[in-house]
Structure 1
Amino acid sequence: MSSPGPVDRGRLFDRINWALDNRWLSNGGPLALEFEGRIAELAGVRNCVSACNATVGLQLLCQAAELTGEVIMPSLTFVATAHAVRWIGLDPVFVDIDPLTGQVDPACVAEAIGPRTSAILAVHLWGRACPAEELEKIAAAHGLPLFFDSAHAIGCTAGGRPIGGFGTAEVFSFHATKVVNGFEGGAIVTDDDAFAQRLRSLQNFGIGLPPGGSPAGGTNGKMSEASAAMALTSLDAFEQAVECNRANFETYLTELAATPGIFVMPHDRRESNNYQYLIVELDEDLTGLGRDLLIELLRAENVVAKPYFSPACHQLEPYASRQPVRLPHTERLASRVLALPTGSSVSRESIRRICDVIRLAVAKGPEVTARRQKG
């Protein structure tokens, strides 16, 4: 699990007090607009439309594009990716991943395109860039809009380009657990000026849309000034948070390097990374220990580890029974990965202790498993 980065409380309270003094608490206030400008610059795009959260941001995307029918997406993602589109009447179509990277497989995306496909929604999983340029080519060849759930990927790059400028638009999350957080929050970034204006209208009850401009009408998806104050203050500390996460990653990598069957998921050193998630893959054949049992052992030592993301979306309801599908690479990786604690509240010494527990568990893997099976 990642934890939010450091926050200058004095600066946060200054911003909130400014909003209170000026009595502008929502509806595109100065703090929200400032935040949008800074995120657009970080993402290398002309437009940023803030939102109350990333799930609403994804829904605004779909409504602004007037999507119908099916949206292709990977199943190895947080279930909000799928729920966001299903909630507004679209059908998610799940596809498999590249077993080496965990990212959506472009070949599977191309194969899944059918007469009801209205868009491709890719995911930069765990902040690692998916094959965005390959997906752009597939989308262009089929005349489909391409969107990205970039919830984990603020400040990251793909092929040297900032994540945020691929496809038609991308969505960032600024949930409390993210490296930049606004308590709750999200943002849509795009270089399409007309699309951005449409998004602004839709997230403000449809105000400003021409007559008949959207079958959806509009909703209230705006970011409040309180969230913007927190997000700006968190953004001020972004570089510090990334450096902390990077140091944590290096410590885990060193501590677990010689542990058989435990693999710290790597980052592409040629790219910019925010190191927000510390993901470990466990090979049960080598450790004699299942992923879920390891999580249980860690929790017994007050270490909060979680399966990210397991079960995969297609294995969860309402999708498993309504549109059953087999995605072998997704299912295999989803059963093997877990997220370990990182972030500014996790010390190097804590990481070493966590790794001590993991090494001990792996060393006694078959024995621990046998005891569990006996009950």
Structure 2
Amino acid sequence: MHTTEGTPDVAHRLPAFTEPLHVGRPNMGDRARFLARVNGALDRLWLTNDGPLVREFEEHLATVAGTRYCVATCNGTNALQIAARACGIGVGDEVIVPSFTWVATAHALEWIGAVPVFCDVDEESGTADVAHLERLIGPRTRGILGVHVFGRPCDISALSAVADRAGVPLFFDAAHAVGCTYGGRPIGGFGRAEIFSFHATKYVHSFEGGAIVTDDHDIATRARAMRQQGIDENRRIAGPGTVARMNEISAAMGLTSLESIDSFTAANRRNHEAYRAGLAGVPGIHLREPKPGERSNHQYVIIEVDAASPVDRDGLHEVLTAHNVLVRKYFHPICHQVEPYRSAPERHAPLPLPRAEALAERVLALPTGTAVGPAEIEVVCAIIRDTAEAGHRPLAPPRAA
């Protein structure tokens, strides 16, 4: 672990940012359009319960995802829980999921009484190792949950073949993948269902929000009732449900974000290219790239700090944080390394999961989005470059700019 004391020359050339530069700063879109929508909702006195803005948001998102149906929810976690239940997954059912994901993916299953069973990952893509996943299928397996990591899609064709052989539903956590493609098709219409997150840290957001997208009429019908206390389209109680509906104000923000999706993506792409240029030749620093030939939203800028680097990942994290660059070890720790899964590996994670664990020790998410521009990226890259050049030599505490 490297500290941040010493070498005043580095501190002099690279002062700290006066305001934090952090991962996940919200993109705002057209504020006037948003406020006009909010005022319309206030004038209508229709603030929740499947209002016109929610329905418009669902229609717009279904177009982006290339799906027949969209069911908006209050957040991505609820969307995942409802999607699992709509796929027939219940208490005690095992669902195979990669450990290299944000813990909310696993917790959503655990919360409804299902059992997440963790598989290893392919290190290049960060997504499920299909061969390992297939070996984990057993008599209690009732589903497979793929995760599109950092917007890079899973090997959907291979996962679909495994799910078909096992006779279990395949669905996807696509929280990172709005606007991305697989085989030239938009992410959203694969498997039985896919879910999106519209948390404020996502590049398209609705303050808080989520959605289930699908081409399956039955899945959509069940999900729509489940998010509304089990009440179906005929106002009958069709079964148990929860309260997971999106409100009109969140939908207003979601629509405003979707209208700006092209400009947000362009800003992210510009930033990715700036990081690529700024980090070129830095020893041991590898910028993760989108899948070749596919459209990416570039929502995340992820670097890997590998064995060739003179500084380790945690040391680089410490130096950047000292300069007010609030990067994230994303994901670390991974699912099987936290509770309740860590205490029950025989139930959740046939260990070891070496590739997932190794990847979690190398990755770091850097700031991007519309609040970050070339000037900030140039400084961030300079900090990383100078830290790598300093190697094990400690760096001085920076002065505020």
Scaled by the length of structure 1, the TM-score of the pair is 0.95
Separation (CA, whole Å) in 1 of partners of 2:247 and 2:339: 32
- 5+ long unaligned stretches in structure 1: 370-375
Indicate whether 1:108 and 2:128 are aligned. no
Q: Determine the structure 1 residue equivalent to 2:60.
A: 38
Moved more, 270-279 or 320-329: 320-329
8 Å contact kept, 1:2–1:278: no
1:37-92 Cα shifts (integer Å, max 9, x gaps): 01101111100000000000001012222313111000000000000000111110
Q: Determine the structure 1 residue equivalent to 2:87.
A: 65
The structural deviation recorded for 1:268 is 2.4
Indicate whether 1:146 and 2:173 are aligned. no
Of 101, 113, 119, which aligns to 1:89? 113
The structural deviation recorded for 1:6 is 3.6
Moved more, 316-325 or 123-132: 316-325
Q: Determine the structure 2 residue equivalent to 1:366.
A: 392
1:20-52 Cα shifts (integer Å, max 9, x gaps): 100111111000000000110111110000000
SS in 2 for 1:73: strand
Aligned AA (1:200) = R
Separation (CA, whole Å) in 1 of partners of 2:157 and 2:200: 30
Of 240, 244, 261, which aligns to 1:238? 261
Separation (CA, whole Å) in 1 of partners of 2:195 and 2:138: 25
Of 332, 339, 354, which aligns to 1:328? 354
Separation (CA, whole Å) in 2 of partners of 1:126 and 1:258: 23
Separation (CA, whole Å) in 1 of partners of 2:252 and 2:238: 32
Separation (CA, whole Å) in 1 of partners of 2:361 and 2:312: 9
Indicate whether 1:128 and 2:149 are aligned. no
Q: Determine the structure 2 residue equivalent to 1:373.
A: none
Of 166, 176, 187, which aligns to 1:163? 187
Q: Determine the structure 2 residue equivalent to 1:253.
A: 276
Aligned AA (1:356) = A
Of 222, 229, 252, which aligns to 1:229? 252
Indicate whether 1:344 and 2:370 are aligned. yes
8 Å contact kept, 1:279–1:337: yes
The structural deviation recorded for 1:180 is 0.7
SS in 1 for 2:171: strand
Separation (CA, whole Å) in 2 of partners of 1:282 and 1:229: 40
Aligned AA (2:316) = L
Separation (CA, whole Å) in 2 of partners of 1:178 and 1:53: 12
1:117-159 Cα shifts (integer Å, max 9, x gaps): 1100000000111101111111111111001000010000011
Separation (CA, whole Å) in 1 of partners of 2:98 and 2:204: 24
Q: Determine the structure 2 residue equivalent to 1:206.
A: 230
Q: Determine the structure 2 residue equivalent to 1:372.
A: none
Scaled by the length of structure 2, the TM-score of the pair is 0.89
SS in 1 for 2:392: helix
Of 256, 273, 277, which aligns to 2:300? 277
8 Å contact kept, 2:99–2:335: yes
Structure with larger RCO (C-alpha < 8 A, sep 6+): 2
Distance of aligned partners of 1:35 and 1:209 in 2 relative to their CA distance in 1, 3 Å threshold = closer
8 Å contact kept, 2:176–2:196: yes
The structural deviation recorded for 1:293 is 1.3
Q: Determine the structure 2 residue equivalent to 1:191.
A: 215
The structural deviation recorded for 1:7 is 1.7
The structural deviation recorded for 1:114 is 0.5
Distance of aligned partners of 1:209 and 1:6 in 2 relative to their CA distance in 1, 3 Å threshold = closer
8 Å contact kept, 2:232–2:238: no
8 Å contact kept, 1:282–1:336: yes
1:181-223 Cα shifts (integer Å, max 9, x gaps): 0000000000001210110001000012899954xx1000000
Separation (CA, whole Å) in 2 of partners of 1:134 and 1:269: 18
Of 9, 12, 17, which aligns to 2:34? 12
The structural deviation recorded for 1:259 is 0.4
8 Å contact kept, 2:24–2:200: no
Q: How many residues align?
A: 366
Of 53, 78, 93, which aligns to 2:102? 78
8 Å contact kept, 1:50–1:223: yes
SS in 2 for 1:349: helix
Aligned AA (2:149) = L
Separation (CA, whole Å) in 1 of partners of 2:182 and 2:135: 24
The structural deviation recorded for 1:301 is 0.4
Q: Determine the structure 2 residue equivalent to 1:291.
A: 313
Aligned AA (1:155) = G
8 Å contact kept, 1:287–1:363: no
Could you say what the CA RMSD is over the residues aligned between the two structures, in angstroms? 1.5
